[in-house]
Amino acid sequence: MSSKTQITAQELYERLKNIKVGGQVCQYSLKKCEEFLPVINEILRLKQEMNAVILVHSYVGPEIVYSVADSIGDSYKLSREAVQSTAKIIIFVAVRFMGETAKILNPGKTVIVPAREPGCTLADSITGAQVRELRRQYPGYTFICYVNTSVDVKAECDVCVTSANVYTIVERLPGDKIYFLPDKFMGQNLVNEMKKRGVKKDIKFWNGTCYVHEEYGAEQIFKIRTEYPDVKIVSHPECNAEVVRNSDFVGGTEQMLDYMRKADAKRFLMLTECGLSSRLQSEFPDKELVGSCTLCKYMKSNTLEDIRQALQSPKPGQVVEIAEPVRLRALKSLEAMFKYAEPCAPPQVCE
Ligand code: SF4
């Protein structure tokens, strides 16, 4: 985890100049970077003074990703970084459920989510009370929650999963009756993948969606393939089954970046939030992005000004608080994920 203490407008501009999607202004100028600088350097100073670490999800604005982040990634990677960090304060620049996951794993640290709108259509599609009701309706089922759920929902489930490990975990789980929640598309993709692997399990799923990923359809893929026959289609498992079936690669955000880093191909269509397209444009300038992407209003509701304010005097709604009995029950579902997905788990660190 790197820790910047200062940045110049020119350095920031070098990281942002190729980005044409996902930013506040869609294209960054040196002048814009100069305007960002006072607040950025104040954040970096406050961070040092307060022994804070700033963890930034790939979907937030690139002017945040490439200026104040100690670590950039998806919620799973960032939560692991939170465990490794010795900082007392974690500024989790993302949405609330991600801050909650960091707090579940780091009860002794202060976790702050600066976003003005920290919601998520997927996490907000189901409550803990609804899971309790489902458990009454489906006795004998193993309840699996995607990491994009609230702490109350995680506390009611048996195992938590990420987009990167959901298939492995469901295959490895001993039970053959599975209730997956909250994403209906990931649920259908899970059913299809288990069939492909010859795994016989009765899988039911909830009907939540991510409003960003549900936008995409196979017709977009066919159109782009006609225009660019050499294009590689990269999608997220929160997309529908048709999109997944017609993609060249399907994976979580970190896996998608890794695929593009290693792929020989030059052109990509990325069916996910624009933040990842921005990272592609900034970090792989020799690769070409085609088609369009979709913005998540929740992720993009994080601003540099809000991060500064959260460091100076966090508002009660920004500080993640979890009742200890709920945290302990939610922790069990995360520990079950580490047990089924990895040979060792946080707080031990697997390399
Ligand atoms: S991109 Fe989708 S899943 Fe991620 S925070 Fe936004 S609404 Fe939620």
- CB proximity list for 107: less than 8 A, separation 6 or greater: 322, 324, 327
Q: Is the pLDDT of residue 24 over 70?
A: no
Residue 41 has pLDDT above 60, yes or no: yes
Helix (H, G, I), strand (E, B) or coil at 20: coil
Mean pLDDT of the chain: 92
User: Is 0.85 topped by the overall pTM?
Assistant: yes
Ligand 1 pocket test target in 299, 300, 301, 302 with most atoms within 8 Å of CB = 299
Q: Whose CA is nearest to atom 3 of ligand 1?
A: 210
Q: Quick one: pLDDT at residue 1?
A: 53
Q: Which residues line ligand 1 (CB under 6 A)?
A: 59, 95, 120-122, 148, 210-212, 273, 296, 298-299
pLDDT score, position 263: 93
Torsion of CA 19, 24, 25, 29, to 10 degrees: -60
Using DSSP, state whether 92 is helix, strand or coil: strand
Å from CA of 285 to ligand 1 middle: 26
Separation of alpha carbons 35 and 294, rounded Å: 26
Tokens of 231: 């294009």
Task: Return the residue whose CA atom lies nearest to atom 8 of ligand 1.
Answer: 120
pLDDT digits (tens, 9 = 90+) for 165-200: 999 999 999 989 999 999 999 999 999 999 999 999
Q: Give 26-38 pLDDT, tens digit per residue.
A: 689 999 999 999 9
Q: HSE on the CB side for 246, CA within 13 Å?
A: 18
Residue with CA nearest ligand 1 atom 5: 120
pLDDT in tens, 255-274: 899 999 999 999 999 999 99
Give the ligand 1 atom nearest the CA of 94. Answer: 5
| Helix residue spans in the chain (DSSP H) | 9-16, 30-50, 62-65, 75-84, 96-105, 128-137, 151-156, 166-172, 184-196, 218-227, 241-245, 253-262, 274-283, 304-312, 324-341
- Answer whether 185's CB lies under 8 Å from 166's CB: no
Residue-range domains of the chain with CATH: 9-118+299-318 (3.40.50.10800), 123-209+323-341 (3.40.50.10800), 213-289 (3.40.50.10800)
pLDDT tens readout for residues 291-350? 888 999 999 999 999 999 999 999 999 999 999 999 999 999 999 998 998 754 444 333
Percentage of the residues of the chain whose pLDDT score is greater than 90: 83
Query: What pLDDT is recorded for position 350?
Result: 33
Worst-scoring range by mean pLDDT, 71-75, 144-148, 237-241, 343-347? Answer: 343-347
Average pLDDT over residues 128-146: 98
Q: What local confidence, expressed as pLDDT, does residue 349 receive?
A: 33
